[in-house]
Structure 1
Amino acid sequence: MINKSLYIKSLVTVFTVTLFFSCKSNFDEVQKMGVSEDQPIGVAENINLKYTDSGRVTANLISPKMLDFTNRPFGYNEFPDGITLYMYDEQNQKNTVIADYAISYSETSLIDLQGNVVVTSHKKDTLFAEQLYYDQKKEWLFTNKPVTFRQGRDLINGNGFDSDSKFKQAQVLEIDGIITLNE
């Protein structure tokens, strides 16, 4: 009786080990099932996403639609219907970013904003551009496209812009002209 019980346990163990080692992992294939490589793996609508740091809201992203392509080798999130982004500093002062289209790359932390891009600081300095890049790691804004930058009473037109996210080091490149407004 003991030999028969030991024999059955041994058979079950051998069978289980054989199954375990003979099965190949198809996890990647299961993940891809039903998802075309040209399609996003996720779609979110009417986004109102709040980022917090130590309980304090630091940013609020609002967008009608987000497409998630993070399953690609160079993953990204696309906002085909535009974004509005509110960013709050330590004193809870609000800066605003608006764009008709945006794409955020996961690996590089770079955001490409396109179409009627408007960035307004809490001091009312305002940048108008057709395209603007934002490096999230360095907190840096830049473009080589035409821009208009309103700083105080000055309206500065040029080709290119380079600045920290707080406009403390804002610089319009290749200045075409400066207009001082009466207020």
Structure 2
Amino acid sequence: MSIRGIEMHYYAVCKRKLWLFNRGIGFEQQNDRVAEGKVLHEYAYGKLDKELNIDDMAVVDAIDGDWVREVKISSKMEHADRLQMLYYLYLLRDRGVEKKGLLSYPKEKKTTEICLGFEETLEVRAALEGAQKVLNGELPAYGKLRYCSKCAYQDFCEAGEVGDEE
């Protein structure tokens, strides 16, 4: 089973979201935050080559010389953004292409450099193994996280929790 780039992000954010998304249960198309991200992607860094597809495993936002660039709305999930970028660099390296990564947060005027070294490679491999375990298992239990209120899956996840707190 192959893991897509967005699934690596979801693995770092919420195992339940990863499991649901992987099974085709998606709510992103109706989510305002996802729409905002698409608009930001279209207008940020307009002169760069856009969207490099890596064997249908990942779609990198932009290529800028030696750099792979991902454009994000906010750095609030920078740990997940970082893992996603490391995964992109891992996939590229596996195909003989050496790049460095830049996570760009235009609204915050912030850019973070990401490099895939030995430790980072081990981190990606461990995340891949963890994601496979999640995807091969049962639906992970719901647990309220600090970013649930902005998640496209919030209503779905919380619908089954009504009355469970009483």
TM-score, normalized by the shorter chain, greater than 0.5: no
Q: TM-score range by the shorter chain?
A: under 0.3
Larger helix share, 1 or 2:
2
Q: Greater relative contact order (Cα 8 A, min sep 6): structure 1 or 2?
A: 2
Greater strand fraction, Structure 1 or Structure 2 = 1
TM-score scaled by structure 2?
0.25
